[in-house]
Amino acid sequence: MFRMTMRFKTSIVTGSIDSMAHLLEEHNIPEVNRFRVEKTRERLANGDRRQFGNVASFEDARRILMTDGWQSGLVRARAEIPTLPLADLVPEAVAMKRRRVFAEDGDTLRVESALAGNWDRAWETRARRATRQPVTLSIGCGFGNNGGVSHDEMFWCGLQMAALVDLLEGAGFRIELRALKMNTFGAVNRHVQDWTVKQSDQPLRLDTALSLFGHAGVYRTFGWLGNLATEHKVPDGLGLVATGDEMLDAFDSLAKASAIPPLSLIVPTATSRDEAIKNLRAALKAVRAGQAVAA
């Protein structure tokens, strides 16, 4: 199940990707915002299907997210990922460990070796050495976008996150993937979503990552429901979405306050192939340079 908390006029809803389905249960949306669920149902039934990626109901979206996956997106992503110019940036999963080295000189005298006359091993040094072993990173990205962004444009955010996890895990990293969102309502209220799409010990389902980050119909149903899971009264338009430095600063502050688990890296959203490539190259460079702190 998901968890809803309030901190300093900031509400937070967190949970696994599986728990998002429970947002459809009426009692999980506070009464102040419950009427907007029905408004969304009406828009799904009567609105422009292109805005919803041809999803006509919450049930359609749940099948894509939870069971069937986004198959057409998966086919497209599998064709696109090998063409991305990233091979030169894929890092190696290494960790620095201290290893004891015994020699004829060093930092610390081993008295027992000296008394035994073993001077070639009488001194000890603890040397740092890079070793290949699993390194766990917690990577997040803002999911969804405003109403002016098309289903086709949203695909690229799904592609970049699926590609990033696939590349890093192929290089030996253990990746936790999280879908993030922060909306502000007025001057003082804000609402945060932090969904775990994949735990570090779970295999990657490309279609799940693609559907949550890249399918307009999934975001404009379950992402909207997540935005309504707050005691704050959500206005028309569902509030303002935090992006860029505002989003980075907000999630960094929440992690430092232990309101959410820490993140190793937050990747900007993308609405085009060029943006996805730019974001992926920047993320891989950050990991390669050690700027993404292990979780």
In this structure, what token pair is assigned to residue 23?
A: 């947002």
> What backbone torsions phi and psi does residue 257 show, to the nearest 5 degrees?
-85, 5
The predicted structure's pLDDT at residue 219: 94
Count of CA atoms in the C-beta half-sphere (13 A) of 79: 6
Q: Rounded to two decimals, what is the model's pTM?
A: 0.81
H or E element in which residue 101 lies: strand 94-103
Give the separation between CA 146 and CA 224, rounded to whole angstroms. Answer: 11
Say whether pLDDT at 181 is over 50: yes
Average pLDDT over residues 196-218: 93
| pLDDT, position 248 | 87
* Per-residue model confidence (pLDDT) at position 114: 61
Rounded alpha-carbon distances, angstroms, from residue 13 to 7, 124, 226: 11, 52, 7
Mean pLDDT of the region 168-188:
91
Residue type, 250: A
Give 152's DSSP letter: H
Where is average pLDDT lowest: 92-96, 120-124, 154-158, 234-238?
Answer: 92-96
For the stretch 248-284, pLDDT in tens is: 888 999 999 899 999 999 999 999 999 999 999 999 9
Q: Does 93 score more than 70 pLDDT?
A: no
Instruction: Break the chain into its structural domains and give their ranges.
Output: 3-90+134-288, 95-132
The one-letter amino acid code at 179 reads: A
Query: Comparing 71-85, 120-134, 159-173, which segment has the lowest mean pLDDT?
Result: 120-134
d(CA 180, CA 82): 26
Mean pLDDT of the 80-99 span = 75
The backbone torsions φ and ψ at residue 77, rounded to the nearest 5 degrees and listed phi first, read -65, -40
By C-alpha distance, which of 233, 246, 262 is closest to 9?
233
| pLDDT in the model for residue 96 | 40
pLDDT at 201: 93
Give the pLDDT of residue 130.
47
Least confident range of 14-28, 118-132, 217-231:
118-132
pLDDT (tens digit per residue) in 118-149: 777 766 776 545 445 678 999 999 998 888 89
